[in-house]
Amino acid sequence: LFLQFVFHTYTTGFTLLNGNGTTKVEEYSLQQNQVLCSLGAISYAACIGAFPLIFMNRYTLKSSLTQLVIKKLLPAPLLGLMSAFTVAVVRSPEFENGIEVMDRNGKVVGVSQKAGEKAVKETALSRAVLFGTTFLLPDVLLRFVERTKLAKTPRTLASVRMLLITAVLAGMLPVSLSMFPQCGEIKRADLEPEILSSTEETELFYNRGI
């Protein structure tokens, strides 16, 4: 539970610092709301992430199938899902209040909730892919290492697992960041009526955040 809490605290802080900077309500209120939402999201994600293991230990579920599902198969998708969830909660002001959209020359033509929703969805998906893959793929590769008996002691296996996680994370980070462009595009027809009437551009742009 503690490690889950630390992990989600770090990623949530990163999300807060690297979101879209558009402010549509009083800055103090926005920051206060985001901090409260962040604390709630961190606590919820940490509890959900740790719950399967706590449940297994509490009820002494020791069958091989249970061990496989809870220790090997469930953590990666659950971590990816909770990572996407924290992004959506922390950056909820972006789709509630909207973000700035610009024309090709960088001129702001309006504030769009639809662009904010698109930016948050893209970032949440990229975060889920990053952490879900990073924690799933090393376990798959480790099974191969165990079968080939390349690492024969538990300490060696632990070291190999850490190296695999580091290597996969290093490889997945640029993949995750490049899934969607930093300067996102949205069609004019997909935006709100007030923005449609303020420009003739067919495509507009927004800062997606990281």
pLDDT in tens, 64-109: 777 777 877 888 899 999 999 999 999 988 888 889 999 988 899 9
In angstroms, the CA 197 to CA 190 distance is 13
**CA torsion, ordered 67, 73, 76, 78, to nearest 10 deg:** -80
User: pTM of the full predicted structure?
Assistant: 0.85
Least confident of 12-16, 44-48, 73-77, 172-176: 73-77
DSSP bridge partners of 203: 187
